Structure 1
Amino acid sequence: MLKFFKNNKLVVILCAIIVFIALIGMSLRSQSQSPVEQYVADTTSTGQRVLSYPIQFISGSINHLFGKDDSKSSETKVKQLEAKNQSLEAENKKYKKELNIDDISKYDPISSTVISRNPDQWMNSLMIDKGSKNGIKSNMAVMTSDGLVGRITKVNQFSARVDLISTNSRNNRLSINIQHGDKNVFGIVDRYDDKSGELIVNDINNKDSVKKGDKVVTSGLADQLPSQLYIGEVTKVENDGYGLAKQVKVKTASNLSDLNHVYVAKRKAKTVSDEEKGDN
């Protein structure tokens, strides 16, 4: 048998070619790729990548040396550099502001970075790069140097989810105090208005005095967040549809749509209030 194959190499090669062509024909009839096709496609695409890189490099160099749009290219580069400088200046201002955290230092803040944010849930939640290994726990307040932005709702070992105060969830209704002079007007955030970018507080008693510019802070009631955390200020006060109560709009101090670095308040309101009483 071995002598047959040795003496008839051409026959063996011919048979192999026939089998190969038959396999190709069968694969063409099938919608799914065969292993042979996949191997050929992968090999071909790899070869194309290897060849395309030097070609692109050479063509790019030729265009750079002899192209007619050198002036336009230079202008584009200048504009890109200007835009980058503006972006860096804005980031520097933001970082300097973030360093000024005197108002929240008493809560032993944990500095963290936003690592992911789903576009579909942009104003509802985000993920930060600190978790249980860093002392993060559920219901801890999350803020920037400007004010409150949300609370911890899910904790992993090395990350945590933050539900923003702008999320329209019944389980995330925030209790607040509106500071009008020496009086505090209690209320609960009902929802977030996507169009105006403001928090809506309903059912404020008509007898309670509230006006534009009043500061809004956390009440420390029911939702387990520390009290007196700054949220924002009143932008508009109007009667509800029935004229029985007031509706208040609140502009948040923090830009909830642009969050890169945040702080998690590690200590609870009771601990801070007890220490403040002790100091007095």
Structure 2
Amino acid sequence: MKKFLQNKKLLTVCVVLIVIFSVLGTSVHLRNKRNTPLIIQSFGNDIVAVGTRIVDWPVSLVSGGLNNVNALLNAQNENNYLKSKVTNLEQTKARNSVLEAENKQLKSALKIKGSLADYDLVSASVISRSPDSWTDLLVINKGATSGLRKNMAVMSGGGVIGRVIEVNAASAKVELITTSDKDANRFAVEATATNGKKVHGIITVVGDNTLAFTQAIDSNKLKQGTQVYTSGMGGNSPKGLLIGSIAKATRDSFGLSDLIKIKPAGELNDPSLVTVIRRKVED
């Protein structure tokens, strides 16, 4: 005991521990009896609370900013994704429209094949059509290697639209029946009159690219709606190819002869697919 009392360090530690436990015990005892905490405790608690708020404010501000930036990036990505979907939708609609048009023309070509059993049919696609010669010429992707020759008739949409005027190895130039060229080789045609007889003539272009049945005898016996076919008498095209139907019969500008306007049966506005008529037996 005497040695213990003489050891100052150990004695100091014991005293400190006793004081600490006494303070803690007294604090707990007073806290249990008091309705409010001690001033020192309350002051310490307020300091901790304020410090926590000070630290939390910039942290929450930075965190909120990062969340906003992330939301903007996500919104931009979603916007780009939706734009790509809209673009793809428009492309799909355009492609469907083209396929529908091609399907319609292919069906017309099949009908031609069923009615023209004496001829070979060569299907081709239009690859060029110049705006300055829109009603005159177009270029197709078949040529001499596919058996095409000059003056072969060309059909699209169920009716004649022109004839081949120039043949290359892998392409050909087609002159349309609506051409304004006065030197164009016109189709010889025929139609059945009301008396059952055949009326012959040729197809020419009058006015604003309007087809007309001209040089016809007894043209007054041709009624509206009568179908007009190639007669084969020109020597350049086979007989029986549909040109169109009679739309209207009037007098010419001089009042001397009948002017019979023809409504074309072929697809002249947008012939993306055509059928070239190749005779099996040469003239």
TM-score range, shorter chain: 0.5 to 0.7
Of 95-104 and 111-120, the range deviating more from structure 2: 95-104
Correspondent of 1:188 among 202, 207, 217 = 202
Asked if 1:158 corresponds to 2:170, the answer is: yes
SS at match of 2:170: coil
Asked if 1:178 corresponds to 2:191, the answer is: yes
SS at match of 1:224: coil
Alpha-carbon RMSD across the aligned residues, in angstroms, is 3.1
1:222 and 1:152 mapped to 2: Cα distance? 15
Q: For structure 1, list consecutive stretches of 5 or more residues without a partner in the other structure.
A: 1-60, 272-280
Q: How does 1:167-246 map to 2 (within 5 A)?
A: 167-169=179-181, 170-181=183-194, 182-191=196-205, 193-194=207-208, 198-205=210-217, 208-246=220-258
Asked if 1:120 corresponds to 2:140, the answer is: no
Q: How does 1:85-124 map to 2 (within 5 A)?
A: 85-100=96-111, 101-124=113-136
Cα 1:64–1:122, aligned 2, differ >3 Å: closer, same or farther? farther
What does the per-residue CA deviation read over 1:205-249, in whole Å, with 9 as the maximum and x for residues that have no partner? 456411110110112123521111111100000112333211011
Question: Identity rate of aligned residues, in percent?
Answer: 37
| Higher alpha-carbon Rg | 2
What does the per-residue CA deviation read over 1:142-184, in whole Å, with 9 as the maximum and x for residues that have no partner? 1135021111111111111111111122232222112224222
Asked if 1:136 corresponds to 2:148, the answer is: yes
1:244 and 1:210 mapped to 2: Cα distance? 17
Matched residue, 2:277: 265
2:110 and 2:252 mapped to 1: Cα distance? 41
**Residue type of the partner of 1:241?**
S
SS at match of 1:89: helix
SS at match of 2:151: coil
Contact 2:143 2:169 in 1 (8 A): yes
What does the per-residue CA deviation read over 1:84-136, in whole Å, with 9 as the maximum and x for residues that have no partner? 54443343333333333212342111122212111111111111112222211
**Residue type of the partner of 2:234?**
A
Of 78-87 and 149-158, the range deviating more from structure 2: 78-87
1:251 and 1:261 mapped to 2: Cα distance? 20
SS at match of 1:99: helix
1:88 and 1:150 mapped to 2: Cα distance? 24
**Residue type of the partner of 2:203?**
V
Contact 1:226 1:269 in 2 (8 A): no
**Residue type of the partner of 2:260?**
V
TM-fit CA distance, 1:204: 3.5
- Aligned length, in residue pairs: 209
2:120 and 2:130 mapped to 1: Cα distance? 29
Q: For structure 2, list consecutive stretches of 5 or more residues without a partner in the other structure.
A: 1-71
TM-score (norm 1): 0.63
**Residue type of the partner of 1:95?**
L
